[in-house]
Amino acid sequence: SHTAPVQSNTPAAADNLVGYKDPQRFLGDAAAALGPGAQDMVAVHMLRLYEKYSRRSPRPGAGNTVRSFRPTLEVINQKAVYFFNLTSMQDSEMILTATFHFYSEPRWPQAHEVPCKQRAKNTSCRLLPPGPPSRQHLLFRSLSQNTATQGLLRGAMALAPPPRGLWQAKDISSMVKAARRDGELLLSAQLDSGEKDHGVPRPSPHAPYILIYANDLAISEPNSVAVTLQRYDPFQAGDPDPGTAPNSSTDPRVRRATQATGPLQDNELPGLDERPAHASHTQHYHKQELWPSPFRALKPRAGRKDRRKKGQDLFVASSQMLHFDEKTMQKARRK
């Protein structure tokens, strides 16, 4: 089993968050930044780290990334088990430290009646004074995605009962590194005190969370900011549906290459030898009708086959030679 000492240099202690009870009080205006659903202790902690990193850039190699992981709560055999999905970690992120943060209160066992001996009638039964607070154990298991087992036990820690309710941090770096090495990026944590949990535990702002301090080796690559923050094509029409996968383009517009529809050998003006689509009978155009105004809207050109067919029977009536003025014609004849 793994009994990680509570290092005094665990990040929580360094971030003087230990003992923080009420995240709401701490958030202040940052609460708006986080949105309504995220005003819990992990948000407070991350904002604290953001302020620290913004004041003083981290030393090279001291880690340029901190990832937080909120749990999903499940009840298994009447015990609260917290599951952490660590799959959002990037391969380029080298884990430096991983810490497990949890809120614990002293658990005094309920004073309970002891069946007193019936030596004499109506002797009052004494209540046993409550014993020492029960010891809790932290059990960590890791499992790969979608396996039904409870997972491999990665570590267990005995917890000294706290004198009062407070947040604590435990270093779980070696467990997380071993689980990642084995490709098991689903971690479960169970606070076990040996007693059954009274009532179904509900998600609370006191839910535990994991922080992973890492050094992203790819962050100095060109365009690293786009890898994690560019989530859709900025030129996409309208707002992206938040549900779509990042970088998906639901843009209805279809890009078309503009290529010429047919060979440009003839010097016919496009659209002049076509019949308008609605004309049912073939009418012969006279010259002045063909040019009602200097700018004609070009009509879509028919395919080459029907153009040749149409071209034959229309050639006599409306084949268009370009007309030049007399002077140009004389020059041409001379040449």
Partner 1 sequence: QWDEPRVCSRRYLKVDFADIGWNEWIISPKSFDAYYCAGACEFPMPKIVRPSNHATIQSIVRAVGIVPGIPEPCCVPDKMNSLGVLFLDENRNVVLKVYPNMSVETCACR
Residues lying near partner 1 in the complex (CB under 8 A) are found at 30, 33-34, 38, 42-43, 46-47, 49-50, 53-54, 57-58, 64-70, 85, 87-88, 216, 219-220, 224-225, 228-232, 234, 239-240, 242, 246
Q: How far apart are CA 329 and CA 332, in angstroms?
A: 5
Q: Given the complex with partner 1, which of 179 and 211 has the nearer CB atom?
A: 211
For residue 149, the 8-state DSSP code is S
Q: Which two tokens stand for residue 29?
A: 């205006």
**In the complex, what is the shortest distance from the CB of residue 70 to partner 1, in angstroms, rounded to a whole number?**
6
**In the complex, what is the shortest distance from the CB of residue 30 to partner 1, in angstroms, rounded to a whole number?**
7
CA 259 vs CA 113, 264, 268: distances in Å: 92, 12, 18
- Residue 243 makes CB contacts below 8 A (sequence gap 6+) with none
Q: Given the complex with partner 1, which of 235 and 295 has the nearer CB atom?
A: 235
Q: Given the complex with partner 1, which of 101 and 136 has the nearer CB atom?
A: 101
**In the complex, what is the shortest distance from the CB of residue 302 to partner 1, in angstroms, rounded to a whole number?**
44
**In the complex, what is the shortest distance from the CB of residue 68 to partner 1, in angstroms, rounded to a whole number?**
5
> Residues in the chain, how many?
335
Q: Given the complex with partner 1, which of 65 and 142 has the nearer CB atom?
A: 65
Give the H or E element holding residue 159: strand 152-159
Q: Given the complex with partner 1, which of 45 and 170 has the nearer CB atom?
A: 45
Helix (H), strand (E), coil (C) string for 247-307: CCCCCCCCCCCCCCCCCCCCCCCCCCCCCCCCCCCCCCCCHHHHCCCCCCCCCCCCCHHHH
**In the complex, what is the shortest distance from the CB of residue 45 to partner 1, in angstroms, rounded to a whole number?**
9
**In the complex, what is the shortest distance from the CB of residue 239 to partner 1, in angstroms, rounded to a whole number?**
8
Q: Given the complex with partner 1, which of 57 and 149 has the nearer CB atom?
A: 57
